[in-house]
Amino acid sequence: MKELRIAIIGCGMISHRHMTVIRNLNNRGQNLKVVAAAEIDKEKLLAWGKQYGIAEENRYTDFREMLRRDDIDEVEVCVHNNLHTSVSTAVMAAGFPCYSEKPMAASYADAKILYDAQKKYGQKLAVQISSIYNPQTRIAKKMIEEGKLGKVYHARSVGHRRQGRPGYDMPFFTQDFISPTIGVHGPLFDLGIYHLAQMLYVLGMPELESVYGVQSCDYWTNPVIDKLVGRIAPVEDLGVGIARFKGGLSMDIYEDWAIHMDEIGTSFIAGSNGALKFLDVDTTGGPLAVPEGGDIVGGGKLQEPSLVWFGVDEEARLFETKLPCAIGDITGQQELLINPEIAKYNDNQLQWYSYLRGDLTDETRIDSPYIAMQTAFLSEGVVLSSELGRSVTADEIRQLSKSIAIRDQETAFGTIHYDFDEYKPE
């Protein structure tokens, strides 16, 4: 198998998850080699390089110098929300395929710029959305396509933490999460992409007509913590909405980082003949993201996605059936035995590497950039609606969305200027 030579931009927490997957994939016969890394924080770069055996000459504080190399096959962008469009377009402009972390961007306009950059620069792109790469999503999507639920008319997208604002209540996360210029948005764009993208993908990417949304940043804070973490402005901790799609499908949206409540419920999809309840949606990357003998980077346990199928049979009897869907359980293992190729659809990075090698095509891979862009479109609708105090149409989202991606980044070695096209409404 041909070696793929990888470069990493951003050596924060999520980069360690990428490295864990790479190591686990190499243990399963992949031929992947991380040859260079870039990080503006010198101390972080030094520690990262020592941890993964990256020689000093292959470590860069300015990623633009790294992109002058001619021995790199692809670049993985592990920076924060509002730098994804900035850095990822620069990667593709330099002539490299790009695998970007989620969310695609902090606005729909910027997601569209990044999506269009694929064609502009003739490069491949993927966006990390772990929730759609597992049997839970595949089974649900197939059941809906086969009409098992009848006419699907409502869905719910849910994400909840009792208290878990990254960079605030969870200090081991960077404060970039709560920065109004770098993180920009709270849970709807952070964990919300996993839940919203999964719902949209399983539903066949329905066309949005309008959305009404409200956001809040009213959860408890403390002045001592504010000072410790340098909280300069509130970033929302709750986003809720109701969306209407073409054909009458509706979806209610709930995503929080913190709220005084124990249980909120789960995502589900309801049809005339049945419904599917989504349990333990994967937001951490699946089993390949777990170090051997260790814990998931960033905390938490290995998730075990499953479905509960509710319905009524031909005798008008109600039924409730649990469908185990974890990659590591008997369902996932049997699926792999019957069709080993399905492994390429069980992990973001493995699919990306398979796509780069030509084992998957534009037609056979999951189009994560399109799914991520449409997720940003719906999320932006909630944001705009909350700001305007009324519902917004799909056309209004396109017209009102603005490019807010960082264009000038101040660093210890000077200013990095990012040059990319302004968004032009469709």
247 part of a folded domain: yes
The pLDDT value recorded for residue 328 is 86
183 part of a folded domain: yes
133 part of a folded domain: no
Q: Is the confidence at residue 292, as pLDDT, over 80?
A: no
**Structural domains counted in the chain:** 1
The pLDDT value recorded for residue 103 is 98
pTM here? 0.97
Distance CA 228, CA 242 (A): 36
Max Cα distance, the chain (Å): 72
38 part of a folded domain: no
Provide the 3-class DSSP secondary structure of residue 84: helix
275 part of a folded domain: yes
Distance CA 264, CA 396 (A): 31
Q: What is the CATH number of the domain that holds 212?
A: 3.30.360.10
Using one digit for the tens of pLDDT, what is the confidence trace for 310-356? 999 999 999 999 999 999 888 889 999 999 999 999 999 999 999 99
User: Which structure tokens are listed for 57?
Assistant: 């000459």
Q: Residue 57's pLDDT band (boundaries 50, 70, 90)? A: very high
> Which whole number is the average pLDDT over 130-152?
97
What mean pLDDT value characterizes the chain? 95
102 part of a folded domain: no
Percent of the chain with pLDDT strictly greater than 90: 91
397 part of a folded domain: no
Domain coverage including residue 222: 146-343+365-370
- Which residues 6+ apart lie within 8 Å of 387 measured at CB? none
Give 243-291 as a DSSP string. Answer: EEETTS-EEEEEEESB-S-S-----EEEESSEEEEEES---S--GGGSP
The pLDDT value recorded for residue 349 is 98
241 part of a folded domain: yes
